[in-house]
Amino acid sequence: MPTVLWFRRDLRLRDLPALLDAASADGEVLACFVLDPRLEASSGARRLQYLYDALRALRDSLDGQLLVTRGRPEQRIPALVKKCGASAVHVSGDYTPFGRRRDEAVRAALGDVPLEASGSPYLVSPGRIAKPDGSPYKVFSPFFAAWRRHGWPKPAASDAGSARWIDPADVAKGVEIPDVATRIDLPAGEAAALEQWKAFAANDLGGYAEDRNRPDLDLTSRMSAHLKFGAIHPRTMAVDLGRGKGAQAYLRELAFRDFYASVLSEWPRSVWWNWNSSFDDMPTDDDAEARKRFEAWKAGRTGFPIVDAGMRQLAETGWMHNRVRMIVASFLVKDLHLPWQWGARWFLDQLVDGDMANNQHGWQWVAGTGTDAAPFFRVFNPNTQAQKFDPDRTYVRRWVPEVDDDSYPDPIVDHAAERKEALRRYSAIT
């Protein structure tokens, strides 16, 4: 009997366990993607552009045999199952709060037809690693040790030839893949992801441990958007990571990705609320002056060059170097005293790689409100950070060319004074 392979955050054909499971029924497979209006409405333009470009690349890899439909999945998937008489629907597991609710609704609507989840976007899926007493890890370091001991399987041997594909025209009329005509500086899809990874592994991985904090050197992997949409699986990347210092530093970053996914899966409320609820009582600013400062932060007009460079890079490209993400986040939370949620929401609107687990818990790490958080009293000094990680001001001058001119604005706050104010607010709740 035929089966349905429902693509979501796994827009590839290689290393896709769900594809092998769909094809194992010895029948034809209908490949489909559902454009969910809820996700389209909540996604930034650049994220949508990557999605649409990656869908076009996936469709081309399948010689056009990808059915793209629009609607609520709990309505569209059962309708497709009925049309083609499918015995099962196969997916990669989704552990986000939204994804779990969506899949529960689809599973209920399918009735006797199973929704089979296999694999996930992670090296180790959420829930697989726990403390000896069965409780989830709250701190990264012991999680990382357990994660390495647990290990992960080798890449799944799948590709376009793994299934006999159903011509979607025989099942239903699809919709055109949209185009939001927003510029992103990253080619999308599986072939682009594999090419990007191979180039980084060959040329820059060896120096990753030393160079990854230097935004002026432009030597990071730029794999985050590809991982977000599953154009490549981290297993495919992990097989290229040997025992060298750079490779092991990169593996640790992949572990952080798994850790934050596990935290969000275990504590779904933390997607928008402080994981550490003791911070709920700490006052933040939200008056007219606060909103004026927020607009200056978004526009890259704070008068702090490294902050402004990062925010302008984000606005122009939909990406920002990770070290700079931490600097601008600390500035928003601890210099401007604004809610971390404001910054997290803006990042999700702008970033090509906007991922709920990474983004929200990265912001909480900086704000000190999450698991394994940096202490709140660790306040990034934007000037000393710039001196350390952009010593020749190469990065700053690239994005803030007027930095040495009279037209560049004065600092909107006094960092030393606002650091004291941040610590005062923190001490009031401890």
In the annotated binding site for FAD, the residues are 208, 220-224, 250, 253-260, 353-355
Contact 331, 379 (CB under 8 A): no
Residue 43 CA, chain-centre distance (Å), reads 12
Pick out the residues of the known binding site. 208, 220-224, 250, 253-260, 353-355
CA distance 174 to 170: 11
